[in-house]
Structure 1
């Protein structure tokens, strides 16, 4: 018996050592993952209806720089990983911007990443119904989506009808004007009024959500969008920002909010806009001042590669046809090459004048600088509506979202009528 025990003692001792080493190794792996998890995210996903292809993810990395990642989709599944500094908004799509603008795409959607392991579920042509598990911030996004659902269901068919009317402008200009004035004018005004009322209800839902979720990075992003789009008052937005926890105030989106609100104060509604003189793509000289006393002006800051900008173009064409006797649209392009701008103008049949943001012939008063700097533009689509006295009436957009055309139509209609 003693012999057996003594012969087994080394065996058990060796096994214990091996177990100890394995446990220690696992602990090191765990500690490594924990250390990485401060910045690393891991995204596993499944896309129903897509056996093979590619998926693209646009997000802000751990250095707060724009980042594009992609993954091959095999048997409907994909995997992506990266580093982020904090919970952040991201866009996932089946088409890279390098392939051209995916206008009206149903295969791109918004999610909120966190430095953790997440699981995404989506279906082809239904990226607006994406489900992301593992991200508390994205859970807030889905909560608000559920709260908005009853109003969104009413808004959708109204917007579809507005879009259907806009298609009539693809006909001959003269015929379109007749159709609009004689048959559709009343319906457009009615739909615009209805949408305004519905969006006020939606804003009320958003407002209550933000008040109840002041700790959320998602709330900060929603507030930033509303400030960019000019759909929330300065005082109320400032009060919400002041109520955020300190960590959220110091975050990237928190500091962006503070910066945007400062810019809102620098160009207040009702303030006089700076004049600029530029050469457009046809070689003609454009001066903002020459429209004073004659026409309202809509400045459209955009780029040919900007997907939301291109999505807005058909609506701007409809607005231009309807109000061109009273309104001039001036496109200010951020394209690096005029050939890209001209190509987009031909593709989208754009008629209003266009100038290049970085053109050496552009002059602006009271000092020479880029037009976007003078008007504090740092995102697009971004539009400024200016009255006949040269005063700023309304700001629209500045961000990743397409601007609701009914908002522009409603403001212009109020000015003219």
Structure 2
């Protein structure tokens, strides 16, 4: 009897191993396609999935036809690349994939004439695009045309909370959409849309925005300044008000904003105000020369260069405009303020001008 049990042990072990393996993902979409260009021999399909991973699928073109199979948890934005592969941003067509059977007719480098059927998300895009105004050939009223398209997108998001297209549209305006509006859009999304790749990405943007908005505690950091001294934001707690000034030498062209900031520094430094300037420059020489030229030598000057994680914590997305963040003695953000900037640059919520920051400093440091 013991021998029989011993002989059964390997079988039981194999069964346990098999059942312990994670279930294999079953393909849930089929994309059949045709392309008129006979010089194209292979096509890549690229899209993101919920864990942030980029999926790259490759197939070969035979007699002008091709086929993709794959799995997506929910409808997603995808891109086609030709021959050279998905690592180049040249020569791609964009579509929206949905679970199920789809067909696509491709014209290389011509997204406008790509035709997709069988995708619910793509159908939403077609319906939205049908209502978009056509720009005139000379773009004489380009600003008006952009604003009209934006309002159509906003209306679609507000009236289609169950569409997987809505979070993608919202993401296009994430850097100018006021925080309360972004939260209103997100909260209206259905649960499946919230759980989609685009829904989660939009929520991530909202959370990052909130983390560096007025009323939040400033993310802590320790950086080395131009004099090779450690600057620890925590060390200013219960002692100083702090202005974090995100800038770059190229963003100060034809600008007097640093001179204006220096008037604030001279007025309030003795009352407990410190400036920490965080440069986005890549070239140390440009960084050092700009400090001397603009009279920033008395500030704490730090060369950030490329630090996407740090920029993300403070919701710094581009430059110009330069951004100033005012922090109180308890480490809480009082406000975000924008420097001189082109007219097309939109102000996010909680972001006033440097004039507004000057008024706030006069208010909190008047004693």
TM-score by length of structure 2 reads 0.57
Query: 5+ unaligned residues in a row in structure 1: which ranges?
Result: 1-35, 159-190, 300-319, 334-341, 343-350, 354-363, 396-406
Structure 1 residue aligned with 2:247:
297
Looking at structure 2, the residues matched to 38 and 125 of structure 1 have their Cα atoms a distance apart, in angstroms, of 31
Structure 1 residue aligned with 2:111:
127
Looking at structure 2, the residues matched to 139 and 209 of structure 1 have their Cα atoms a distance apart, in angstroms, of 13
In structure 2, which of residues 165, 171, 182 is the aligned counterpart of residue 237 of structure 1? 182
Structure 1 residue 261: deviation in Å?
Answer: 0.8
Judging changes above 3 Å, is the alpha-carbon distance between structure 1 residues 87 and 128 closer, same or farther for their aligned structure 2 residues?
same
Give CA deviations for 1:189-210 in whole Å, capped at 9, x if unaligned.
xx7xx54333222111111122
1:411 aligns with 2:345: yes
Structure 1 residue 119: deviation in Å?
Answer: 0.4
Structure 1 residue 63: deviation in Å?
Answer: 5.8
Structure 1 residue 251: deviation in Å?
Answer: 3.0
Q: Secondary structure at the match of 2:203?
A: helix
1:324 aligns with 2:253: yes
Judging changes above 3 Å, is the alpha-carbon distance between structure 1 residues 257 and 324 closer, same or farther for their aligned structure 2 residues?
same
More helix by share: 1
Structure 1 residue 53: deviation in Å?
Answer: 2.2
The 5 A counterparts of 1:10-409 are 39-61=27-49, 65-94=53-82, 95-98=84-87, 100-102=88-90, 107-148=91-132, 150-151=133-134, 153-154=135-136, 157-158=138-139, 194-227=141-174, 230-268=175-213, 297=247, 324-326=253-255, 371-376=307-312, 382-387=317-322, 393=337
Structure 2 residue aligned with 1:166:
none
TM-score by length of structure 1 reads 0.51
Looking at structure 2, the residues matched to 266 and 385 of structure 1 have their Cα atoms a distance apart, in angstroms, of 22
Give CA deviations for 1:133-182 in whole Å, capped at 9, x if unaligned.
1111111112222222x24x33x743xxxxxxxxxxxxxxxxxxxxxxxx
- The answer to whether the Cα contact below 8 Å between 1:89 and 1:111 also exists between their aligned partners in 2 is yes
Looking at structure 2, the residues matched to 378 and 45 of structure 1 have their Cα atoms a distance apart, in angstroms, of 44
Query: 5+ unaligned residues in a row in structure 2: which ranges?
Result: 1-23, 232-241, 259-277, 288-299, 327-335, 347-352, 355-367
- The answer to whether the Cα contact below 8 Å between 1:384 and 1:393 also exists between their aligned partners in 2 is no
Looking at structure 1, the residues matched to 116 and 151 of structure 2 have their Cα atoms a distance apart, in angstroms, of 26
Looking at structure 2, the residues matched to 70 and 408 of structure 1 have their Cα atoms a distance apart, in angstroms, of 43
Looking at structure 2, the residues matched to 59 and 41 of structure 1 have their Cα atoms a distance apart, in angstroms, of 13
Number of equivalences: 266
Pairwise CA RMSD: 4.8
Structure 1 residue 132: deviation in Å?
Answer: 0.9
Structure 1 residue 330: deviation in Å?
Answer: 6.4
- The answer to whether the Cα contact below 8 Å between 1:57 and 1:69 also exists between their aligned partners in 2 is yes
- The answer to whether the Cα contact below 8 Å between 1:55 and 1:72 also exists between their aligned partners in 2 is yes
Looking at structure 2, the residues matched to 408 and 131 of structure 1 have their Cα atoms a distance apart, in angstroms, of 38
Looking at structure 2, the residues matched to 204 and 325 of structure 1 have their Cα atoms a distance apart, in angstroms, of 33
- The answer to whether the Cα contact below 8 Å between 1:121 and 1:130 also exists between their aligned partners in 2 is yes
